[in-house]
Chains A and B, each alone.
Chain A
């Protein structure tokens, strides 16, 4: 049975937060 593709949203959010906290 084929697995569905997981949304990347949470990864984007996590990456964005990581970049923001790194910049600040």
Chain B
């Protein structure tokens, strides 16, 4: 089937004269002029603006949205480069249409994301001998190495400039850095105490082949997890800006001290300097403090994926021990039995909210009273009513018809589409609860789907089932098994342009690295949680995604061996109206019916306990066993 012609009035057209810009485009002319003025002052011919913050966060706070401010493009992934005459953004397929809607004609859009393509463009635009500037606190060691390698054989100089030039151009309009209180999670919501976690990391360091004396933690989920602390510096992520330097004899936490209550200071043992006392230092001191520590007889372990070049460059190379991920990332990836139980229980409550929403939609969409935005607001409200809720885990993706073809479309109060029984609707949403983070996607159709829509949906479901029921050897990397989620789509020439899953955990970020199915994810191990989320997007018509969270568990095999499989902990049935059972194999059908039985067992009693009888009846009906 050919993609439908969109009319494209919603996107910019820079080839006409005058250029045609949609209302959603941002005028960046003055912003670019202010940045170029700074570039001139610093003698830079190009300036690279990545999409992250000083902690390599995927979601960033308002003061860190530099790429968004300079380009107008609000997608969560994408790098901008500004030269004296040109400006360009590189982003992946999830955001191409969004970028065309939001950027004005000052900007080129490059539909790729590799650093090599960015470097190639800079080499073509910047003359020999000129400087290319970057903020070292916005580049991981890994990405700096890739850029550096790209420029090595050229005569352009990659220059680390610790003053952020976008911030200077942004000036007083730049939002302030957050200062909300940082609080300790009640112990019933944590898998271990912070002292136990510190001991585990120290033990890891002792057993490390290069015996580091200290580990520097830069990612925000590392400090939040290690100390069982949370705050709200970043939307949807309960984090606080911080670093930690954990050594064999001391613990230093770099954070604004005024954000702690007296009780939390006591919880952290901040009034001593013993090995189990947390010494607080100001956030801005991290570079100097690491430099001072590195002057001793020490070896500092860093995970290069999350440590920025800004901190890395002050550690002498002979005192560095580098791994891809810090020990905290690796230990955190495997949830202990208490953490698993907490996460599962948050998913039961979350399923209640999603089921309530689906029942509500079924009743109200035919009346024509629901739109994408009011729907998103309602499901967020349902989650907020759940115990231990701390709001959504990301901006709800509520997309009807052609809007669902944009994998990360979110409606606004001003711009949204009415839900209708005549088209498909995709809702991808999640909650932050004190016991767990959730993330689930369901796609539904309340009318008569086309044969192609049913086939595409069923094949996405087959991909989800094939990966979910897979039995594989322990310590297999996710990338090795990822194709199982795509096979049913591939065999008829369909595919999707995003990853197949991501780690998720206990009240941290919704995409909890390093678990997942990509080349830089760590090998699968018992106790990890990952999402499984194949999809299919038909530009201009509809989008499908079926996402569940799964726990990695031991598999029972006919012959003895160390094998793993997945156990779904998302408990919401798929849309029967869109499943073509004729396409399912007997094994897939059997798996699906067994999953539906699990949903009944886990969520049914909770619905009854709350007297949600309409929802209970709906669940019974939608989890009736399917037959070929």
The chain A residues found within 8 Å of chain B, CB to CB, are: 1-11, 13
Can you identify 5 A-B contacts, CB atoms within 8 angstroms?
A1-B511, A2-B94, A3-B502, A3-B511, A5-B113
B408 within 8 A of A: yes
Instruction: Tell me the count of chain B residues lying within 8 A, CB to CB, of chain A.
Output: 34
User: Nearest-CB distance from B490 to chain A (Å)?
Assistant: 15
B212 within 8 A of A: no
Q: Name which of B130-138, B159-167, B242-250, B513-521 contacts chain A.
A: B513-521
From 481 to 503 in chain B, residues with beta carbon under 8 angstroms from any chain A beta carbon are 497-499, 501-502
Give complex CA distance A22, B94 in Å. 38
User: Nearest-CB distance from A18 to chain B (Å)?
Assistant: 14
Query: A4–B146 contact, CB under 8 A?
Result: no
Give complex CA distance A11, B502 in Å. 19
Closest to A8 in B: B519
Given the contacts A7-B115, A8-B114, A2 and B499 also touching, CB distance less than 8 Å: yes
Query: A3–B499 contact, CB under 8 A?
Result: yes
Provide the residues of chain A in CB contact with B430, threshold 8 Å.
1
What DSSP secondary structure best describes chain A's contact surface? loop
Provide the residues of chain B in CB contact with A3, threshold 8 Å.
498-499, 501-502, 511, 516, 518
Give complex CA distance A3, B520 in Å. 13
User: Nearest-CB distance from B38 to chain A (Å)?
Assistant: 28
User: Nearest-CB distance from B194 to chain A (Å)?
Assistant: 29
What DSSP secondary structure best describes chain B's contact surface? loop
Closest to B517 in A: A3
Given the contacts A2-B498, A2-B533, A2-B535, A7 and B113 also touching, CB distance less than 8 Å: yes
Give complex CA distance A11, B146 in Å. 10
User: Nearest-CB distance from B467 to chain A (Å)?
Assistant: 14
Give complex CA distance A1, B510 in Å. 8
Closest 7 pairs between A and B when the two form their complex, measured CB to CB: A3-B499, A2-B498, A3-B502, A7-B114, A9-B114, A6-B518, A1-B394
Provide the residues of chain A in CB contact with B407, threshold 8 Å.
2
Give complex CA distance A8, B114 in Å. 7
Provide the residues of chain A in CB contact with B92, threshold 8 Å.
4-5
Q: Besides A2-B408, A6-B519, 6 other CB < 8 A contacts?
A: A4-B498, A5-B499, A8-B519, A9-B116, A10-B145, A10-B146
B372 within 8 A of A: no
User: Nearest-CB distance from A7 to chain B (Å)?
Assistant: 4
Query: A1–B397 contact, CB under 8 A?
Result: yes
User: Nearest-CB distance from A11 to chain B (Å)?
Assistant: 5
Closest to B77 in A: A4
Query: A5–B146 contact, CB under 8 A?
Result: no
Closest to B428 in A: A1
Query: A10–B397 contact, CB under 8 A?
Result: no
Give complex CA distance A9, B147 in Å. 11
Provide the residues of chain A in CB contact with B439, threshold 8 Å.
1
Closest to B499 in A: A3
Query: A5–B498 contact, CB under 8 A?
Result: yes
Give complex CA distance A1, B516 in Å. 13
Give complex CA distance A9, B519 in Å. 11
User: Nearest-CB distance from B158 to chain A (Å)?
Assistant: 16
Give complex CA distance A3, B59 in Å. 12
Provide the residues of chain B in CB contact with A4, threshold 8 Å.
77, 92, 94, 113, 498-499
Provide the residues of chain A in CB contact with B146, threshold 8 Å.
9-10, 13
Give complex CA distance A5, B511 in Å. 13
Closest to B393 in A: A1
Give complex CA distance A18, B516 in Å. 25
Provide the residues of chain B in CB contact with A9, threshold 8 Å.
114-116, 146
Provide the residues of chain B in CB contact with A5, threshold 8 Å.
92, 113, 497-499, 518
Provide the residues of chain B in CB contact with A7, threshold 8 Å.
113-115
Give complex CA distance A16, B110 in Å. 26
B202 within 8 A of A: no
With most chain B CB atoms within 10 A of its CB, the pick from A2, A4, A9, A11 is A2
Closest to B78 in A: A4
Provide the residues of chain B in CB contact with A1, threshold 8 Å.
394, 397, 408, 428, 430, 439, 502, 510-511
Give complex CA distance A8, B116 in Å. 10
B608 within 8 A of A: no
Q: Mark B573-607, 1 if CB is under 8 A from A, else 0.
A: 00000000000000000000000000000000000
Provide the residues of chain A in CB contact with B520, threshold 8 Å.
6, 10-11
Provide the residues of chain B in CB contact with A10, threshold 8 Å.
115, 142-143, 145-146, 520
Closest to B396 in A: A1
Give complex CA distance A4, B533 in Å. 12
From 460 to 477 in chain B, residues with beta carbon under 8 angstroms from any chain A beta carbon are none
From 425 to 454 in chain B, residues with beta carbon under 8 angstroms from any chain A beta carbon are 428, 430, 439
Give complex CA distance A9, B545 in Å. 27
Closest to B116 in A: A9
